Amino acid sequence: LYACVRPVRWFSGVPCPVKQPEKFNIVIFRENTEDVYAGIEFEQGTPEQKKVYDFLTKEMGKKFRADSGIGIKPISITGTKRLVRMAIQYAIDRKKPSVTLVHKGNIQKFTEGAFRDWGYEVAVSEFRDRVVTETEVYDRHQGKTPAGRVLVKDRIADQTFQQMLLRPDEYSVLATPNLNGDYLSDAAAAQVGGLGIAPGANIGDGVAVFEATHGTAPKYTGKDMVNPGSLILSGVMMLEHLGWQEAADLTVRALERTIQDKTVTYDLERQMAGAKKLKTSEFAKAIVENMSVSSGRKTPAAV
């Protein structure tokens, strides 16, 4: 499950802090197994930390404080290329205009800089007739992406945060190392209404798990009040993954209609003037009822 895939888009009616949320429709491919999240750490003051410190300072000539905790940031050719390969194939299959490699290669040259370089290698060696790099666009195509090609470009991570706010419609698919992807996906979700409607999937070769992105909230257990939107939309991703596009589209239309009707759970109700607060179960029932409206069929509950 090496790719954490998080689509982030605005659903009509959802309150959000930006002026033109309809311009935001980005899918983030976050590498799921490497980077500082690999958990290779050595606690300050332990024999293991001293051994690593001595090796780095005495054998490798690196200088840093002896009282440091130490973490290792692995980013591999294998991990990078399979993630970027999936992101590019996704863009091709869904006719997305671009894939952006997001990194801090200006500082971390041999990890995130390598991620950028290996990402471009995948693009030009495996998808040569389907992609064009940003450099090629300006050098060979007068600044315009040729028809039928996916534009592959790269951006520094901190610049990407700014661009998502100012020019979100210039980005469609992001491919990024683990830590950047974690930050970017949550920040992106905030722009379109929060984690309550942010789905996610962990995808590998032949295996996939679909889950809400917001984690657990034990204090709400059994209270029938939280927003199930993230989990429902993760189910939509599962349907799309299985090729059940009609069912996926029906679910999205019904969810969006329910929100537009201002019949929502407490987290959205408190931000929407004139909204009606529903329990989790009531919100789910409203979505099911709106499925019948969208499909033109009566649901069993409506008979």
Q: Is 104 considered catalytic here?
A: yes
At residue 88, what are phi and psi to the nearest 5 degrees? -65, -45
C-alpha 137/C-alpha 133 separation (Å) is 6
Selecting among 2, 35, 37, 171, the annotated active-site residue is 37
Amino acid found at 95: K
> Which tokens belong to 302?
């409506």
Q: How many CA atoms lie within 13 A of 302 on its CB side?
A: 13
Is residue 101 within 8 Å of 80, Cβ to Cβ? no
Which candidate in 62, 139, 144, 158 is catalytic? 158
Residue 296 CA to residue 299 CA, distance in Å, equals 10
Establish whether 182 is a catalytic residue. yes
End-to-end CA, the chain: 42
Angle between helices 245-260 and 280-295 (to 10 degrees): 120
- What Å distances lie between residue 94 and 88, 90, 91, 171, CA to CA? 10, 6, 5, 14
Active site residue: 104, 120, 154, 267, which one? Answer: 104
Name the DSSP letter for residue 145: P
The catalytic residue among 182, 277, 279, 285 is 182
Is 171 a catalytic site residue?
no
- Active-site positions read 37, 104, 158, 182
